[in-house]
Amino acid sequence: MHAQTDTAQPPATLQAQRLACRRGDEQLFSGVGFTLEPGELLFVRGRNGSGKTTLLRTLCGLSEPAVGTIHWQGQPIRRLDDETRRQLLFIGHRDAVKEELTPLENLRIHLGLRNENTDEETAWDALQRAGLQGREEVPVRYLSQGQRRRTALARLLVSQARLWILDEPLTALDRRAVAWLFERIAEHLEVGGMVVTTSHQSIDGLPEPRILDLD
Amino acid sequence: MLRSLWTLIRRDVSLIVMRRQDVLTVVAFFILVITLFPLSIGPEPDKLRTLAPGGVWVAAALASLISLDRLFADDWRDGTLEQVALSPQPLAVAALAKVAAHWFSLGLPLVVLSPALGYSLGLEGAELLVLALSLLLGTPVLSLLGAVGAALTLGVRAGGALMALLILPLYAPVLILGAGAVSEAMFDSAYTAHLSLLGAMLAVAVPLVPVAIAGALRIALD
């Protein structure tokens, strides 16, 4: 698998062509197309119910679009090979944090599921930088909404993925956490990463995004 | 891939064990249903003995059904299922791992308890062994079939009842063979055919049913 990467490397881009999605009988959006290059941030904007979440879920391959195609690194999104799939990280509305488990366990399980290796120290460090110092081994049930969200976002610190798809990442975060997240996103873009995100809150402080309007 | 599957199995087992009440509920349900037989039919040993194979098997099938209700529901609600679907291993293999973890923590206790309960209904000697063996081969099939129902009814209101309607008819062949094996043992005739057929069902179900589960999960996630 690794031998391949040295030879003809496919373009590390996310391409969407003429996407249309529907929920039930209602057409949410149509004709959405873009090519996201390394280092670019795509900000999806739209009123409630305009299909932002549906678009993001479609972009990472969970939902199938009614029309159109999506390619990640040259491969169709629903048929990625293992390595390419690992290059994609999705954090949704429902953040896959288990309440019975501690932030540390949650992070370890997340890495285990993706088959990524990280040593103990990196995991502890990530949780501390995510603002969970002293809470690493407290079951998430006893933490606040914001801390729960930070548990999910700590994945960004250990992830080796190039493309992050973040649905409403700012929900429940306080101002310091928002600043921290923006900083992290900026760092990721600087090293050639890509981010697709949505938010209803102000995004002042983020690097200049490309805007996709669904309205 | 093995590492991620191991993660999934270990996580599921520890979550079930941590909640504890899930295991206790299922085991208590199993015992209670079986104790209803002598209470409702009367204590004559002969009558109870005739009913024992079917009784234990029906109780095991119902216990398996109620335990499967939440197999995917929690993971679906909190978004873990999305992450599993986006992780490198095929969804069918992940589904098989989840069913395996579920069976180890909730199905296996029923198998282990069954000789004691069979004994209380009047089975003895080799019959108890056949009973446990038939459950050992049969309950994994029940878990797999039930998992299809659990996946299909994700997000449906009153999903549990609907799931029972969908899945109980599919349980029938397993139930017939399992209880049949024990009955055969009671009349000293050959029970190996029944057990072989149960084993064959398991061998077919393990590779094929997870594909159906994965299909149902994809629909729930779409």
Judge whether residue A7 has pLDDT over 70. Answer: no
pLDDT at B222: 83
* A39: nearest Cα among A211, A203, A186, A204: A186
pLDDT at A3: 44
Q: How far apart are CA A192 and CA A195, in angstroms?
A: 10
In a domain, A6, yes or no: no
Report residue A132 CA to chain centroid gap.
20
- Residue window 154-183, chain A: list those with CB within 8 Å of chain B: none
Per DSSP bridges, beta strands A26-36 and A14-23 are: antiparallel
For tokens 């080796």, the residue is A160
Going by the DSSP 8-state scheme, the letter that residue A206 receives in this structure is B
Q: How far apart are CA B136 and CA B107, in angstroms?
A: 9
Per DSSP bridges, beta strands A26-36 and A194-198 are: unpaired
Candidates B12, B19, B80, partner chain A, best to mutate (most A CBs within 10 A): B80
Q: Please tell me whether residue A35 adopts helix, strand or coil conformation.
A: strand
Question: What is the model's pTM?
Answer: 0.89
Give me the amino acid identity at B188: D
Residue contact A94–B82, C-beta within 8 A: yes
In a domain, A169, yes or no: no
pLDDT at A5: 45
Give per-residue burial for A66-100: e unless 16+ CB within 10 Å, then b.
eebebbbbeeebeebeeebbbbbbbbbebbbbbee
Looking at chain A, the whole-number percentage of residues with pLDDT higher than 90 is: 41
Size of interface A-B (CB pairs under 8 A): 69
Give chain B positions within 8 Å (CB) of A100: 15, 18-19
* A75 Cβ contact partners less than 8 Å away, ≥ 6 residues apart: A10, A81, A84
- Answer whether A139 touches B (CB < 8 Å): no
Report residue B187 CA to chain centroid gap.
27
- Answer whether A63 touches B (CB < 8 Å): yes
pLDDT at A8: 57
Give chain B positions within 8 Å (CB) of A82: 1, 88
Give chain B positions within 8 Å (CB) of A113: 4, 7-8, 83-84, 87
**ipTM of the complex as predicted:** 0.87
- Whole domain around residue A139: which residue ranges? 98-145+154-159
Band of residue A208 on the pLDDT scale cut at 50, 70, 90 = confident
Give chain B positions within 8 Å (CB) of A167: none
Q: Please compute the mean of the pLDDT values over residues A158-169 and round it to a whole number.
A: 91
- Please give the order of strands across the beta sheet that includes A14-23: A26-36, A14-23, A67-72, A75-76
Give chain B positions within 8 Å (CB) of A98: 11, 15, 78, 80
User: CA of A91: which chain B residue's CA is closest?
Assistant: B83
Going by the DSSP 8-state scheme, the letter that residue A38 receives in this structure is T
Q: Identify the H or E element spanning B213.
A: helix B192-221
Residue contact B87–A63, C-beta within 8 A: no
Going by the DSSP 8-state scheme, the letter that residue A204 receives in this structure is B
Give how many domains chain A has, as a whole number.
Answer: 1
Burial class, B204, CB count within 10 angstroms (exposed 0-12 / middle 13-18 / buried 19+)? exposed
Domain boundaries, chain B: 2-221
Judge whether residue A66 has pLDDT over 60. Answer: yes
Three-class DSSP labels, B115-181: HHHHHHCCCCCHHHHHHHHHHHHHHHHHHHHHHHHHHHCCCCCCHHHHHHHHHHHHHHHHHHHHHHH
Nearest CA distance, B159 vs chain A (angstrom): 21
Nearest CA distance, B171 vs chain A (angstrom): 32
In a domain, A82, yes or no: no
Show the tokens assigned to B141. 């099939």
Per DSSP bridges, beta strands A194-198 and A210-213 are: unpaired
In a domain, A196, yes or no: no
**Region class of A62: left (phi > 0), else alpha (psi between -120 and 50), else beta:** alpha
Q: What is the mean pLDDT of chain A?
A: 88
User: CA of A60: which chain B residue's CA is closest?
Assistant: B86
Contact (CB, 8 A) for A119 and A147: no
User: CA of A101: which chain B residue's CA is closest?
Assistant: B15
In a domain, A115, yes or no: yes
**Digitized pLDDT (tens) for each residue of chain B, 222 residues in all:** 778 888 889 899 988 888 888 899 999 999 999 999 999 988 898 999 999 999 999 999 999 999 998 899 989 998 999 999 998 888 999 999 999 999 999 999 999 999 999 999 999 889 999 999 999 999 999 999 999 999 999 988 888 888 999 999 999 999 999 999 999 999 888 899 999 999 999 999 999 999 999 999 999 988
pLDDT at A49: 85
In a domain, A105, yes or no: yes
Residue contact B83–A110, C-beta within 8 A: yes
Band of residue A6 on the pLDDT scale cut at 50, 70, 90 = very low
- Answer whether A82 touches B (CB < 8 Å): yes
* A186-205 pLDDT, tens digit each: 999 999 999 999 988 888 88
Residue contact B78–A95, C-beta within 8 A: yes
